[in-house]
């Protein structure tokens, strides 16, 4: 391929230039490709906070660049190529749909390191990383099970993808453990982002009797709906949403990419970067649990914190058998722990959840 050679030679030329001007060109350049706007207050907002943390950590030694609102597909490929051409040493691509574009571009720039979020394709210069948000869901499930009086917990999902289904299962298992009578009502918004629809979904769940609303969508619309209803609790998602504490928001799951981004940037600076597959949770600090407020009774809070500790230390895995699938067949035997492969592609409900996953 002509382009490949051209690009490689361009990259090499740049590399040479870098070497030649070593004194003036010591900065490590880190690129970020975002799927949404940095002002989305959720997914992209948190990735951008990670970027800012990298800048703060290394000061003048790094330069970060980003492009927001990049559609998945050829646009993403172009933006990544452009960053590589401009001399980026490390590029974080922060959406599942960037998987194939990342692999394509990485082939053309063997000397540039790529980090793809939430995907499963790797190469010598492509790592993948993701967060075990389901660990946080387990804690939410426990609090939800203890706190619900109507025994109905509402759950707002975006699309039925493994990430969301895993969260539902984790929350449900732990809600049932805390309260055997609890039922989940699941509403799918079928959109990634439509705050008005999320508000509607939350109101519907509350009207149908839910007094705990869990959400896998990033807006504060459910918090506002819960506040209006009065006696409904919610959890922050992606960001802390502390503006709704102590009620209705009683805790939260926070995406915290900063430790990972800092560590990987450092690895590139020190020349120790290797292709890895990272799936970190509470222990490594990638999943943050926002402060549990006083709206939660002290004993429940203590249990929740103990659960958090045991997950963080690795003593307890939220998917530990015995767990059956929805149809009653055995998934995990007593004491058996789910393997990451099954978790990553999870496409079934566990026993006790009513309704079908939309196919």
Q: Output the smallest distance, CB 2 to other proteins, in A.
A: 5
Q: Of the listed pieces 125-133, 280-288, 313-321, 350-358, which binds other proteins according to CB under 8 A?
A: 350-358
Residues 6 or more apart whose CB falls under 8 angstroms from that of 302 comprise none
Q: Output the smallest distance, CB 124 to other proteins, in A.
A: 19
CB atoms within 10 A of CB 73: 12
Q: Output the smallest distance, CB 199 to other proteins, in A.
A: 5
Q: Output the smallest distance, CB 45 to other proteins, in A.
A: 7
Angle at 143 between CA 141 and CA 147, to 5 degrees: 120
CB atoms within 10 A of CB 65: 16
CB nearer to other proteins: pick between 189 and 292: 189
Q: Does 358 bind other proteins (CB under 8 A)?
A: yes
The residue within the footprint of other proteins, chosen from 16, 26, 56, 120 (CB under 8 A), is 120
The residue within the footprint of other proteins, chosen from 17, 56, 69, 313 (CB under 8 A), is 69
The two structure tokens encoding residue 232? 């409904």
Tell me the C-alpha distance between 320 and 316, whole Å: 8
Question: Restricting to residues 214-253, which ones interact with other proteins according to CB under 8 A?
Answer: 219-221, 224, 239, 241, 243-244
Tell me the C-alpha distance between 306 and 232, whole Å: 24
Q: Does 73 bind other proteins (CB under 8 A)?
A: yes
- Phi/psi at 342 (5° precision): -65, -40
CB nearer to other proteins: pick between 199 and 268: 199
Question: Restricting to residues 190-219, which ones interact with other proteins according to CB under 8 A?
Answer: 190-201, 203-205, 207-209, 219
CB nearer to other proteins: pick between 81 and 251: 81
Residues 6 or more apart whose CB falls under 8 angstroms from that of 119 comprise 96, 98, 99, 102, 128
Q: Output the smallest distance, CB 233 to other proteins, in A.
A: 17
Question: Restricting to residues 173-192, which ones interact with other proteins according to CB under 8 A?
Answer: 185-188, 190-192
Site pattern 22..61 for other proteins (x: CB under 8 A): ---------x----xxxxxxx--x----------------
Angle at 302 between CA 156 and CA 325, to 5 degrees: 45
Question: Restricting to residues 123-162, which ones interact with other proteins according to CB under 8 A?
Answer: 154, 159-162
Q: SS3 for 66?
A: strand
Q: Of the listed pieces 256-264, 268-276, 323-331, 338-346, which binds other proteins according to CB under 8 A?
A: 338-346
Helices (H), the chain: 2-20, 43-58, 74-85, 99-108, 133-147, 162-178, 195-207, 221-229, 258-270, 298-313, 340-344
CB nearer to other proteins: pick between 7 and 268: 7
The two structure tokens encoding residue 244? 């709704």
Q: Of the listed pieces 54-62, 68-76, 130-138, 171-179, which binds other proteins according to CB under 8 A?
A: 68-76
The residues that bridge with 320 in the sheet, in sequence order, are 337
Question: Restricting to residues 255-314, which ones interact with other proteins according to CB under 8 A?
Answer: none
Q: Output the smallest distance, CB 242 to other proteins, in A.
A: 9
Tell me the C-alpha distance between 37 and 246, whole Å: 28
């Amino acid at each position: 391929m002509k382009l490949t050679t051209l690009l490689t030679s361009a990259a090499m030329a740049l590399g040479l230039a870098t070497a030649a001007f070593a004194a003036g060109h010591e900065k490590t350049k880190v690129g970020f490709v975002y799927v949404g706007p940095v002002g989305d207050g959720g997914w992209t907002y948190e990735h951008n906070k990670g970027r800012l943390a990298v800048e703060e950590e290394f000061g003048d030694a790094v330069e970060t660049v980003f492009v927001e609102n990049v559609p998945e597909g050829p646009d993403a490929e172009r933006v990544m190529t452009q960053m590589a051409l401009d001399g980026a040493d490390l590029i974080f691509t922060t959406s599942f749909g960037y998987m194939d574009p990342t692999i394509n571009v990485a082939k053309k720039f063997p000397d540039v390191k790529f980090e793809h979020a939430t995907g499963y394709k790797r190469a010598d210069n492509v790592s993948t990383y993701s967060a075990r948000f389901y660990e946080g869901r387990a804690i939410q499930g426990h609090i939800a099970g203890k706190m619900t009086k109507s025994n109905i917990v509402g759950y707002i999902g975006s699309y039925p993808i493994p990430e969301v289904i895993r969260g539902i299962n984790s929350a449900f298992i732990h809600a049932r453990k805390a309260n055997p009578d609890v039922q989940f009502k699941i509403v799918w918004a079928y959109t990634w982002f439509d705050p008005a629809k999320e508000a509607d979904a939350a109101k519907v769940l509350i009207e149908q009797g839910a007094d705990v609303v869990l959400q896998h969508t990033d807006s504060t619309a459910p918090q506002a709906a819960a506040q209006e209803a009065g006696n409904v609790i919610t959890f922050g998602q992606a960001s802390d949403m502390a503006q709704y504490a102590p009620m209705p928001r009683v805790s939260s799951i926070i995406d915290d990419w900063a430790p990972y981004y800092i560590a990987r940037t450092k690895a590139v600076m020190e020349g120790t970067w290797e292709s890895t597959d990272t799936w970190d949770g509470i222990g490594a600090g990638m999943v943050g649990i926002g402060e549990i407020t006083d709206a939660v009774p002290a004993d429940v809070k203590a249990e929740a914190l103990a659960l958090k500790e045991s997950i963080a230390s690795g003593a307890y895995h939220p998917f530990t058998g015995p767990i059956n699938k929805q149809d009653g067949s055995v998934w995990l035997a007593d004491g058996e722990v789910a393997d990451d492969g099954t978790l990553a592609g999870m496409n079934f409900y566990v026993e006790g959840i009513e309704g079908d996953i939309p196919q």
